[in-house]
Amino acid sequence: MNIQTPVDPTNDLVETAKRVLPGGSFGNMPAEVILKEGKGGRIWDEAGKEYVDFLLGSGPMFVGHAHPEVTAAVQAQVPFGTTFFGNNRHGIALAEAIVDAVPCAEQVRFVCSGTEADLYAMRAARAFRKRDKILKFEGGYHGMSDYALVSLAPKNPGNFPRGSIDSAGIPKSVADEMVVAAFNDIDMVRSLIEEQKDELAGVIVEPFQRLIPPKPGFLQALREVTAEHGIPLIFDEVVTGFRFAYGGAQEYYGVTPDLCTLGKIVGGGFALAAIAGRADIMAHFDRITMADEDFIFQVGTLSGNPVASVAGLATLDVLKQPGTYEKVFATGRTLMGTLQELLNRSGFKAQVIGEPPLFDILFTDQPVKDYRDTLKADTAILKRFNQLLRARGIMKGESKYYVSLAHTQADIDHTIGAWTDALKELKAGR
């Protein structure tokens, strides 16, 4: 009897990807990372290699891959249709759930991506204030629109408040409409707002900027100065919404903005995002009540489609169960604490930063309060460490460990073992 060795399809897939995709990828992960299956807190690639998954699809799979309740909800809906363009009961129910959960949400408008949500939130602030400029924070990520790619990740940061354009193909004039400040520097923000209050349409901020927590009092002071001048404050909660608390970062940090954007978790792994906020601002999306010059034209073929909506509703039902957030935070605290201890023992100048549901390492011992501080970190060491971890069955992106409800003690133990072993090799190779 001849036993044939299974053929690894990865090489052929990589070659095909390189032929038909720019750079051989969707633009997210390296071309050689081709994933096939996910279950709970684990994923498998096309070669059959198993990983503890801290990528989580870049965050949406907060309750784990293929959660049985989410899967059942989707399977029940599909035979009845996947999209209608008109309203459907599931999208309406999801909007109601968001209004019930999120402090700032009085009304909701669905879109399909965080990029769209952030773009329309800025547009809503402009329509409401009848002004053009938006203040954002250097290093803050608000999707892929022209406006969002001003001072997202400048390699050579310029002088505040002038931003730099971070992508080819964006008109230079876009930078003129953005005012850029340093995250966690309330004195700078207050000064800029006072100086440009008559031109500002709004302020957009990640309440937890990438990996950097807000300094105590920063968000509260930002809320106070924007409210003082009637300038809408937008929290970009595409990442933090339903992750830091059921009501998002605005519940977790105790600060309520005027508008927020949601994505990732709220779609249950499907293409769904939302703008939510004050009814008087959201009214600009209503063609019936708004004059032509005040109306925001927005339609989307798949916005609020029933499959994404039932996946989102099922995900939120899981998150409402007792002990959900306590478990995620306990897992995250264990991982963060152990990783910092291992780094200390290894002798690397490094720190674990973030919050228990979302964290990573910066290879620097300098304080990190804003984007420019992150530039002090040794990214080459982090890249090498990530490569060593992937070889040991840990999947993560270039930055961020996303912690899920599905991660088990076995996942934690495997991760700690991989960290320990990878740090030994990293140290030996210095």
Q: Considering the candidates 236, 258, 360, 373, report the single residue annotated as catalytic.
A: 236
- Active site (annotated) includes residue 141: yes
Given a contact cutoff of 8 angstroms between Cβ atoms, the answer to whether 206 and 140 are in contact is yes
Q: Considering the candidates 51, 141, 401, 402, report the single residue annotated as catalytic.
A: 141
Contacts of 87 (CB under 8 A, 6+ apart): 304
Q: 3-class DSSP state for residue 29? A: coil
Q: Write phi, then psi, for 181 (nearest 5 degrees).
A: -125, 170
Contacts of 99 (CB under 8 A, 6+ apart): 105, 106, 107, 108, 276
- Active site (annotated) includes residue 421: no
Q: What is the radius of gyration, based on Cα positions, of the chain?
A: 22
What are the tokens at 410?
A: 């076995």
How would you classify the pairing of strands 259-262 and 233-237? parallel
Torsion angle in degrees (nearest 10) through CA of 258, 134, 118, 353:
-90
Contacts of 360 (CB under 8 A, 6+ apart): 211, 352, 353, 354, 399, 400, 401
Q: How many helices (H) and strands (E) does the chain have?
A: 13, 14
Angle between helices 324-346 and 409-428 (to 10 degrees): 20
Given a contact cutoff of 8 angstroms between Cβ atoms, the answer to whether 275 and 259 are in contact is yes
402/55 Cα distance (integer angstroms): 6
What are the tokens at 382?
A: 């982090």
- Active site (annotated) includes residue 401: no
Enumerate the active-site residues.
141, 236, 264
